[in-house]
Amino acid sequence: ESRPVPEPGPNEVLLQMHSVGICGSDVHYWQHGRIGDFVVKSPMVLGHEASGTVIKVGPGVTHLKPGDRVAIEPGVPREVDEFCKSGRYNLSPTLFFCATPPDDGNLCHYYKHNANYCYKLPDNVTFEEGALIEPLSVGIHACKRAGVTLGSKVFVSGSGPIGLVNVIIAKMMGAAAVVVTDLSASRLQKAKEVGADFIVQVKNETPQEVASKVESVLGCMPEITVECTGVQACIQAGIYATRSGGTLVLVGLGPEMVTVPIVNAAVREVDIRGIFRYCNTWPVAIALLASKRINVKPLVTHRFPLEKALEAFETTKRGEGVKVMLKCDPNDQNP
C-alpha cells in the first residue's frame, strides 16, 4: 500500500530507499509472527539491511545533505542509558530497531531515520555494498568478541550469509586458517569463494565426530569457534571442537533451551560468549569496503524490484542462493 511521504524530525533525514537485503529474521517474522519475546501484534514493515539517498534533512542535521548516499544502521538508542554511556548501545533495552516489533523497517520507497545512524557512502562503495554492511557488522562484532587476531585458527559453523561474513572478517582480522562446516555443498563452495581455507560437509556425524573432522583438516583444534546456526548439535560440536582456553561465540539463534556439554567447556576453560547484533561497526565496515580490503559482492545472488517482494521472500524462504536484494528505487538501475 502507498503511504504519505513522512517529514523528517529535527535530527532525522528522509531517504529514498535503494537497496534492502532480506534477512532470515524478516522471513521468520513473516512466517511465524514472532522471534522469542518479539511478537508482531500489528502490521509491520520489514527490512533492516538497507541503503538509500537523502532527499530531505531535518533542521538539526549538519553532516548530511540531499543527494548523499548513505548506509543505514537499524538500531538507534532512544535514551542515553548506562549501556550507551559505556559504548554498548546495542544492549539498551529501549533501543529502536528496524523491523523488530513494534518498530517498522525500511523495505519501502521512502523512509525517515535518525541522521546520526545514517553513514555517508564513499563514491566507490555501491548501494548494494551499503546494504550489506548490516550483515557484515554481525561478523565484525562476533569476530571482535571472539578475539580473532594474527594467526588465529577459526572454526565457523554454518555457511549461510552470517557464516560467510564471519569468514570474510576473520580472514581480514588476520586468521591464518578458517574451516567452515555446513550441510549444503553449494553453500560451502560459496565459503571457499569468500576465503575459507577448509570446508567440511556434515551429513549425520555426531558432534564429537564433527569436532574431530575440524581438528584433522586444521591440523589442530581451533582457538576460536563462531557458531552461526543455533542448532543444538552444532553448539555441542562447537564446544567439543574448541581448543582448551579458547573461545566459542554463539551467533545463531535457535531454541531457547539447549542441552550442551557445559562441564566439558568449564573444565577446559572454554569461554562461551554471546552477541546481540553489533555496535560501532558502520565506520569500520565502510573503511574496509572503500579501501577494497574486503569483497562482499559475491554474497548477492538474487535481485528483485520492490514490486516483486513476495517472490523475493519466497526465494529466501526456500534457501536459494545467499543474499536476496530488493531494489526500492524504480528510477535507478545501478547496484
What residue ranges define each of the domains in the chain, with the CATH number in brackets?
12-120+296-327 (3.90.180.10), 140-274 (3.40.50.720)
The total of other beta-carbon atoms located within 10 Å of residue 327's CB is 22
DSSP-assigned beta bridge partners for residue 97: 75
- Give the separation between CA 301 and CA 46, rounded to whole angstroms: 20
In which element (H, E) is residue 290 found?
helix 282-290
Its pTM stands at 0.96
- Give the separation between CA 186 and CA 182, rounded to whole angstroms: 9
- Give the separation between CA 236 and CA 232, rounded to whole angstroms: 6
pLDDT of amino acid 332:
72
User: For 176-195, what is each residue's pLDDT tens digit?
Assistant: 999 999 999 999 999 999 99
pLDDT of amino acid 207:
98
pLDDT of amino acid 132:
98
Q: Which residues of 51-72 are buried (b: 16+ CB within 10 A; e: fewer)?
A: bbbbbbbbeebeebeeebbbbb
Are 221 and 241 in contact by the 8 Å Cβ rule? The answer is yes
Could you tell me where the DSSP H helices lie in 72-199? 82-85, 127-146, 161-172, 185-193
Q: Which residues does the chain have with pLDDT short of 70?
A: 1-3, 333-335
What DSSP designation does 302 have? E
Are 213 and 188 in contact by the 8 Å Cβ rule? The answer is no
- Give the separation between CA 66 and CA 69, rounded to whole angstroms: 9
Residue 140, C-alpha cell as written in the block: 565484525
pLDDT of amino acid 317:
95
pLDDT of amino acid 331:
74
pLDDT of amino acid 2:
61
pLDDT of amino acid 335:
59
pLDDT of amino acid 128:
98
What DSSP designation does 1 have? -
Give the 3-state secondary structure of residue 179.
strand
- Give the separation between CA 180 and CA 201, rounded to whole angstroms: 8
- Give the separation between CA 103 and CA 29, rounded to whole angstroms: 13
AA letter at 139: G
Q: Which distant-in-sequence residues (6+ apart) come within 8 Å of 257 by Cβ?
A: none
